[in-house]
Amino acid sequence: MAPSATLLFLLLLGVLTSASSLPPARISFPLNSTGRPLVHFSLHDVHNTTTLLLSDDGSTLYVGARDAVLSLDISQSDVISLRRKVSWRPSEDDIKECRGKGKNQEVDCPNFVRVLQLINSTHLYTCGSFAFSPRDAFIDTASFSLVQHDGAKGRCPFSPFQRNSAIAIDGELFTATTSDFRGVEPQISRHFSKDSRPNVSQDTSVSLLDEPSFVGSSADPVERKLYFFFSEVGKEFSFIDKLQIPRVAQVCRDDSGGQRTLQKKWTSFAKASLLCQSHKQLPFNILQDMFTLQPPEGGDASDTLFYGVFTSQWSSGRQSAVCVFKLQDVRMVFAGSYRTFDMKTHQWSLQQGKHWYLGQCGLDKATDSELEEVKRSFLTSGGVKPVTDGPAVVSSEHQYSRVAAMRTMAANGKQYTVLFLLTESGFLHKMVFLDRGARLIEEIQVFTHPQLVKSIVLSSTKGAVYVGTSEGVTSVPVANCSVYRSCSQCVLARDPLCGWSPTRRECTSLNHEREHIVQDVENGNVEKECLQQIRNTEDTAEVSAGLNEVVRLQCIKPSNMATLTWTSPRFQNLSEKLFIQSTDGSLIFHAADATFGTYHCEAEEGGYKEVVMSYTVQPMVSPRSIIPNDPKDPGYDSEDDSFEEFVPEKQQTVTIGPSGDAEDEDDEFTTNLQDDVTSNSHSPNPKRNIQDDGLNRTLTFRKDSQSLRETLNVPETRYYSELVVVSLLLGICIFILALGGVHQWRQRKSDVKRNPCADAGSELEVVETSSLSADGRQKRKTHSSEDFKISSLK
């Protein structure tokens, strides 16, 4: 088949965009958010802290940086402190030589530390690019001093941007890297071999690997094998130019090479494709990262899982997938049949029959003819299929680049897997696999500048994910349950790591002591789980406004999944068109006698509704008309004439006290709504209430919550421009209202999205971008269009 025809065929086969893509994260925390505090470590003279290694006891994080190796104390969860630092810098001559080879002094010629492994109980092994001439060394962990060692060719790459992998087991070091200046000669090898075995490397008479990019490695303790994960050019598909194929390669730990054939070369090297493809869609064929999740304590090693993050060669956008492979399946593929490479035609053919020795360990006594066969047959005929048959997750919005996974037991005793995925744009996504698919519990921004080199490690003992970037190391606690302030929010989060403690009345980390914990990870059913716990968690505020002022009542969504609706007894007699709900959830209207009153912002998520914010808007008490009554009383006993005219006889105020029940309030309001439909025609001409009061736009707030105070702390001057815009738009609305008859008006009510005020609201948002960021929450572009709706009475 001609290359172009094949590619065309592949393209016709399907598009990458999956129909069932991942829903957005429930909660977003921008960088430095107070709601989800992170611990950051950086030093002014240390950069590129991107190689991370946890000590066995989990109290130390070793960091390979630029020209330095650090030892960080991570025993405290709220601080990372420097224990030791050893500088490891190329000499002037080394740098001169590096520049002489045409390399950039700042970008390529420092020593970027690329390997850090605990080689024995007292020493660390390290390898660095060392001015484009890799060098390795030992570090005495007690004194944290560098013990030089000579010649590290073939253990880490020359280029600081090429990827590599290394793993130390029982004092032996296994590395996968390119081993030449140009970065084109891949090499998987064993160093510091024990038991007088030779050091073993890759046979170079055949091209075993083609431009691989190594992303990870893992050990199989039972079969005494090592696996390396990478993508490379798939030469078996010679008809497509540079087709990338994700792979796993194996070598046996105790391989000592052949006797005559394959001397000091792997006799156990074999590679297999990793399949990560949705049905009838283009494959995700570039492996970005691989995390090994050990089986639960006491479990069988064959249940070890590999979580791989994949992107696609054909995708230009931010798309990625997670595929999960099982060690058992990897073993099966390497124990199966192989393809043979024909040296003359450079073609692959399927092996006829099965040869017992292919992919096996212990071939040191194998015959020359068997080893000749081994040399040519190192590609399995089958690929490794993921456990779910296709990707476990497909994201059409995020390009994931690193992954870590942990198991956790929920309150009901069920095991869940929690993934931490780093996006190219700098967010850490926390994902949980539920019965009905993956769910993003939260996203936490950890960096803003794009990072070419980065890494993450997960410490289950410390309950933290560490992210290493050019700028420093950031520690992200796996959970911070206290961010959920009510039982309902705690349950709606559906985080298996968090649950509501009815005795302590707080959302808390699960510690599996004999404490009753309210949690519903699968369904997030608040009504059932929080029945006894429902209480008023809403914030209340009083707002004083002078006539004709623009009032903007803010309401912060408790989550990205929630939809906000405003309710008020004032909606009963007034047209909803006098009120604008902006994309950030704020309700905007003109202060007038008819609009003073109470307003409630209601959040609905997963069928559960709760009031999250209540306001009482009252007339401003000006010094010249002092009212003897309590000015804070929203009881409308103002002396203003127009006021009495429009305040209904029946007191419509819905007061929600600290012990008020949200459910009851809801019912009352529904009745009111029905009244409203019939009484609509009585609504007064709003123009009569809007009196020019000399453009005094100073609003005074009395708030109960600190966070609210922050969010409303917007510059006063903003109201001038706002008023002009809103007045204009309101004027247009009123004009249109006046034109339309009562009947027409009713019909339009259902057509909420297309009404002119709704459009006005969205225009308003363009003007007010500053206020969007002022509320301190990251707004997701994809949401704003759906979220936008005018406060509806239904």
* Least distance in angstroms from the C-beta of 680 to ligand NAG: 9
238 versus 698: smaller Cβ distance to ligand NAG:
698
* Least distance in angstroms from the C-beta of 737 to ligand NAG: 16
* Least distance in angstroms from the C-beta of 729 to ligand NAG: 24
Report residue 225 as tokens: 């094998």
* Least distance in angstroms from the C-beta of 339 to ligand NAG: 32
Q: How many CB atoms lie within 10 A of CB 684?
A: 15
DSSP H/E element including 645: helix 641-646
123 versus 376: smaller Cβ distance to ligand NAG:
123
119 versus 726: smaller Cβ distance to ligand NAG:
119
Instruction: Say how far apart CA 284 and CA 312 lie, in whole Å.
Output: 4
3 versus 648: smaller Cβ distance to ligand NAG:
648
Nearest CA-CA partner of 654 in 762, 482, 536, 548:
536
Instruction: Say how far apart CA 729 and CA 404 lie, in whole Å.
Output: 51
Bridge partners, residue 599, by sequence: 615
Nearest CA-CA partner of 303 in 329, 266, 267, 269:
329
Q: DSSP state, 105? A: T
Q: Dmax over Cα atoms in the chain, in whole Å?
A: 109
570 versus 609: smaller Cβ distance to ligand NAG:
570
223 versus 775: smaller Cβ distance to ligand NAG:
775
72 versus 272: smaller Cβ distance to ligand NAG:
72
160 versus 308: smaller Cβ distance to ligand NAG:
160
What Å distances lie between residue 385 and 283, 306, 330, CA to CA?
Answer: 12, 12, 9
179 versus 193: smaller Cβ distance to ligand NAG:
193
Q: How many CA atoms lie within 13 A of 648 on its CB side?
A: 19
**Is 500:519 a contact under the CB 8 Å cutoff?**
yes
* Least distance in angstroms from the C-beta of 453 to ligand NAG: 4
* Least distance in angstroms from the C-beta of 594 to ligand NAG: 8
User: Helix 718-739 to helix 756-767 angle, to the nearest 10 degrees?
Assistant: 170
* Least distance in angstroms from the C-beta of 145 to ligand NAG: 12
Nearest CA-CA partner of 123 in 107, 136, 104, 142:
142
What Å distances lie between residue 620 and 157, 411, 542, 646, 700, CA to CA?
Answer: 71, 51, 11, 18, 8
Q: Which residues contact 297 (CB under 8 A, 6 or more apart)?
A: none
Report residue 676 as tokens: 């409203």
Sign of CA dihedral 483, 494, 775, 575: negative
113 versus 405: smaller Cβ distance to ligand NAG:
113
* Least distance in angstroms from the C-beta of 123 to ligand NAG: 4
**What would you report as the CA-atom Rg of the chain, rounded to the nearest whole angstrom?**
33
Round to the nearest angstrom and report the end-to-end CA distance of the chain: 61
* Least distance in angstroms from the C-beta of 359 to ligand NAG: 25
Instruction: Say how far apart CA 423 and CA 309 lie, in whole Å.
Output: 11
85 versus 235: smaller Cβ distance to ligand NAG:
85
* Least distance in angstroms from the C-beta of 448 to ligand NAG: 6
Nearest CA-CA partner of 567 in 531, 606, 610, 527:
610
**Is 523:436 a contact under the CB 8 Å cutoff?**
no
Nearest CA-CA partner of 135 in 153, 119, 118, 117:
153
696 versus 721: smaller Cβ distance to ligand NAG:
696
Instruction: Say how far apart CA 375 and CA 387 lie, in whole Å.
Output: 31
341 versus 646: smaller Cβ distance to ligand NAG:
646
668 versus 675: smaller Cβ distance to ligand NAG:
675
The SS3 of residue 324 is: strand
* Least distance in angstroms from the C-beta of 79 to ligand NAG: 11
10 versus 772: smaller Cβ distance to ligand NAG:
772
* Least distance in angstroms from the C-beta of 154 to ligand NAG: 9
* Least distance in angstroms from the C-beta of 155 to ligand NAG: 8
* Least distance in angstroms from the C-beta of 163 to ligand NAG: 11
Nearest CA-CA partner of 428 in 406, 456, 452:
456
Q: How many CB atoms lie within 10 A of CB 373?
A: 18
Q: Which residues contact 386 (CB under 8 A, 6 or more apart)?
A: 275, 276, 323, 324, 325, 392
- 């069920």: which residue's tokens? 414
Instruction: Say how far apart CA 99 and CA 114 lie, in whole Å.
Output: 20
138 versus 745: smaller Cβ distance to ligand NAG:
138
Helices and strands of the chain, counted as H and E runs: 14, 41
**Is 676:648 a contact under the CB 8 Å cutoff?**
no
* Least distance in angstroms from the C-beta of 254 to ligand NAG: 14
Q: Provide DSSP, 20-75.
A: SPPPPPSEEE-TT-TTS--EEE-BTTB----EEEE-TTSSEEEEE-BSEEEEEE-S
Residues that bind ligand NAG (CB under 6 A): 31-32, 35, 37, 47-48, 50, 77, 112, 119-123, 138, 160-161, 191-193, 198-199, 448, 452-453, 470, 477, 480, 482-483, 572-573, 620, 622, 646, 648, 675, 679, 682, 684, 694, 696, 698
